[in-house]
Amino acid sequence: MEVDKLKEYITSYSLNNCVRGSQGYTRVLMQLFGFLGHGKSSLINSCKYVLGDKAYTPCAQAAPADGGLTMERRAYPLTDTITMVDNRGCSTMNSFEMGEVYAQLGNFLPLNEQVEWTKEYEDMICQLEDADVEPNFTDFIVPIFVYSARKDVADKEVEEMKTIFKNCRDLTGIYPIIVLTNKTSGNFSRLRDIFEGLGAEEILAVENYTEEDHVKTRGRHMQFLKLIHKVLEDVNFRMQEERNPRKERAERKKFLLKFVHNRDTKQ
């Protein structure tokens, strides 16, 4: 598709037009996760810029390359149906931080509120009980792992990522889409090979628009439109099956409780 056709498809997308209708879903949630300072916020700003008709205006506050500013789970609507979520990033992939990442991806933590890392099973139980007061089961979740091409993948992280990606698939039903940011500033080919070896099904490379560099080009626009289109293709594929949003939320909760219980038992 050309830029205008892709943009029109995305902005007019409705879950009601899926083969079986919306089946109780009201929104597609593009859930960004990954390490601190790898470009999640800048990716959101770029997607909003590409879909809008206005000058570049950063909505999500981006951090320096080695920083990371997002300490909350912040939602940014792209269209009436599609929302991107800037989840709090992790500094390491230890089991404590990943438990909190899974809680965010599973939609058990409220949007637009501070995210506090929990370290006890009881704390996670309290979070889940709070989430059950007003349970959110109408979001169709698509996980997106963001990694900067400026960084190298340490050997110990490879096996950790393999487990994490499998857990994300088990949690959401979709293997995470891999987005490599800063594609012209690092060894993209090596990273692509690593993530393919981990079983990644979709790997996209982007160069985020920034306040310093936001000159529109067709090729750069297509990077972000293709990402959103890939998300919608995953949604359409999964929505061909008969689905039960309430039951799927219950299964996500079981997964999270089992993960945290096993984690604390090992500790």
- 233's CB contacts (< 8 A; 6+ apart) are none
Separation of alpha carbons 267 and 220, rounded Å: 46
82: domain range? 3-14+24-266
pLDDT tens digits for 181-212?
999 888 888 899 999 999 999 999 999 999 99
153 domain residue, yes or no: yes
Q: What is the pLDDT of residue 66?
A: 43
28 occurs within a structural domain: yes
Task: Identify whether 196 is part of a domain.
Answer: yes
CATH number at residue 138: 3.40.50.300
245 has pLDDT over 90: yes
Q: How confident is the model at residue 21 (pLDDT cuts 50, 70, 90)?
A: very high
Which one, of 80, 76, 14, lies nearest residue 239 by Cα? 14
Asked whether residue 224 is domain-assigned, the answer is yes
State pTM to two decimals. Answer: 0.92
**262 in a domain, yes or no?**
yes
Q: Which residue, 142, 40, 16, is CA-closest to 90? A: 40
The answer to whether position 19 is within a domain reads no
Domain-located, residue 9 = yes
Q: Over range 74-82, report the average pLDDT.
A: 96
- Number of independent structural domains in the chain: 1
Supply the pLDDT for residue 104. Answer: 92
Mean pLDDT for 112-124 is: 75
- Residue 56 placed within a domain: yes
Sheet holding 203-205, edge to edge: 113-114, 72-77, 82-86, 27-33, 139-148, 177-181, 203-205
